[in-house]
Amino acid sequence: MKNGLKGVFINGSSGEGYMLTEEERMKLAERWMEAAPEGFKVIVHVGSTCVKSSRNLAEHAQQIGAWGIGAMATPFPRIGRIEELVKYCEEIACGAPALPFYYYHIPAFNNAFLPMLDLLKAVDGRIPNFAGIKYTYESLYEYNQCRLYKNGKFDMLHGQDETILPCLAMGGAQGGIGGTTNYNGKELTGILEAWAVGDLETAREKQNFSQEVINVICNYRGNIVGGKRIMKLIGLDLGKNRTPFQNMTDEEEAAMKAELEAINFFERCNKF
């Protein structure tokens, strides 16, 4: 919370949720609920390739008092129609009817390149606890159209750390969930704070810096691999990545650290 963050989205892509057993995912959720400060929102990602497992995870999240749940489309079998996606979300969401449900739109991971405005229209009135979308895709136009649907009926959480500022300017984003927030949260929440007081230059500088950080991790297999090693560098060793991810070597870690030092990352990153 001292880094400006108001919640956490656990067992998602950065947390390698699909690589964990159902029991491991439940234990992680329970531990987060034990550790979370009062008022800190814990949203549990419950998506899996088995919808019955997802529903069990949703029921568990409600039982332990999580704030909300979310699920991305299963990577197998590929979901290629809106009705298929609605049915998938519906079966999961009804496992935790008292919690807000967010669809996690990240088609780069599951090839579910479906129109999100059509999803909102389809779930409207059908899934009572459908709260909105964690939108991790490049189309600012689509994001804004979803935000405008029925005067902002659904919560559109911005999911790409590299484009928070344009979404604030055009889309009126109220919040976001991103992978690099784990170690660069101070700068990302700083964008929101600067925008709120009309300090566009500071907001631009922080957005550009956040893109520089992303440029570095892209050299080291992205956030799931490079980002996890950054957590070690700032004092929170989360261990190795699960197979089939290719872990960074010590030489790669040293090289990445040098690149981060060159942009003064360690002076600006999250503090624990």
Q: What residues act catalytically?
A: 104, 134
| Interacting residues of 233 by C-beta distance below 8 A, sequence separation 6+ | 253, 256, 257, 260, 266
Alpha helices per DSSP H over 81-175: 82-93, 107-110, 116-123, 140-148, 164-166
Amino acid at 45: H
H or E, element range at 8: strand 7-10
- Do residues 241 and 225 lie in contact, with contact meaning Cβ atoms separated by under 8 Å? yes
Which DSSP symbol is given to 87?
H
The rounded distance, in Å, linking the Cα atoms of 205 and 196 is 15
